Amino acid sequence: MLLWASFVTIEVLKWTDKQIETTDNTLQESIDNTTINVDEQDLIRRCQRGDQKAMEILIVRYQDRLYNTILKICSNPEDAAELTQETFVKVIEKITTFKGKSTFYTWLFRIGMNLTLTFCKRRRRLPVQSLDGSLNVQADTAASRLSAYLTSREKLDPADLAQDREIRQILLQTLERLDEDHRAVLVLRDIEGMNYHQIAQILEVELGTVKSRISRARANLKELLETVLA
């Protein structure tokens, strides 16, 4: 009887959690749908009428965030610039089809991620890519500083470490060794700071897939970092 009671309690708690999560998602969706401010709606409407000035404002508004995200995924500044341009070209060409069902930001990133992941997957198949995969750790000091930071219990400022060019290089090269799908979720979550719901919308996958990908991506990254720093 006691076992039965505890089983029922656990199931009820699980159900409650699920309900809260669903409510959270619905709430997030409604927030996302209302976060297009009036100014942006006006800009989008002007773009849809072919206003070049409005297009330029939209590009300038989002270019750094999009470029930074694409660069962290494709790891090459020229490719990132080209892909960012291509994304904006696509967005402007398709702007008349934008109905505001998601935010403009989500829509823009969806197009950008689609282009970037396709590009990265195609590039991976090219034989010119190095199969060596060894990381070019230039300075032992950088590696040991990084290692100390990851294991230390002291309160340290991560921004100080991230300013170091060599540490940055180690981090980015390690990130580059993850497969594209894992890299994408990690960049969108940890670098761009998106929530699970937005990531699911952008990558057009289920919420559960986002969660499991993030979990696996972080675990893989941790293993890779440990190998590099060993």
Partner 1 sequence: MNEQEREQIEQLIHGFLDGELTQRQRTELKRLAQHNPSVKKQLHSLYRQKELFSALPVEKAPKDLAEEVRRKLERRMILDTEPAVRIHPLGRSYLLYRRIAAAAAMLFLPLGILAILVIQIIKPVDEMPVGSPSAVVESPDLSIRTASGPAAAGSEQTKVLSMGRLTLVTDQPIVVNELIKNGVLSNHLLSEASSQRTESSAVYRIQCRQRKMLSLLKSLEPAWQNSSKQRLAIISEDPASAEPIMIEGIRPEQLISLAEESNPARIQMIAAHMQRLNRINPEDYQIRVEKEGGRGSVLEPVKPRIAWTEENKERRTTEPNNEVQMVLVIEIRNQTAQ
Restricting to residues 15-54, name those near partner 1 by CB under 8 A: 16-17, 20-21, 49-52
Phi first, then psi: what are they for 50, rounded to 5°? 90, 20
Q: How far is CA 180 from CA 82, 123, 191, in A?
A: 18, 11, 15
Structure tokens at 222: 């941790």
Among 82, 166, 176, 179, binds partner 1 (CB under 8 A): 82
- The residue whose two tokens read 């979720």 is 185
Residues across the chain? 230
Nearer to partner 1, 137 or 195 (CB): 195
> In the stretch 112-141, what mask flags binding to partner 1 with x, by CB under 8 A?
--xx-xxx----------------------
Among 63, 76, 169, 220, binds partner 1 (CB under 8 A): 63
Least separation in angstroms between residue 225's CB and partner 1 is: 7
Number of amino acids touching partner 1 (CB under 8 A): 73
- DSSP-derived secondary structure letter, 49: T
Q: Cα–Cα distance between 213 and 185 in angstroms, integer?
A: 7
Among 29, 76, 218, 220, binds partner 1 (CB under 8 A): 218
- DSSP-derived secondary structure letter, 188: I
Residues 158-177 binding partner 1 (CB under 8 A) are 158-159, 161-163, 168, 171-172, 175
Least separation in angstroms between residue 129's CB and partner 1 is: 17
Fill in the amino acid letter for 155.
K
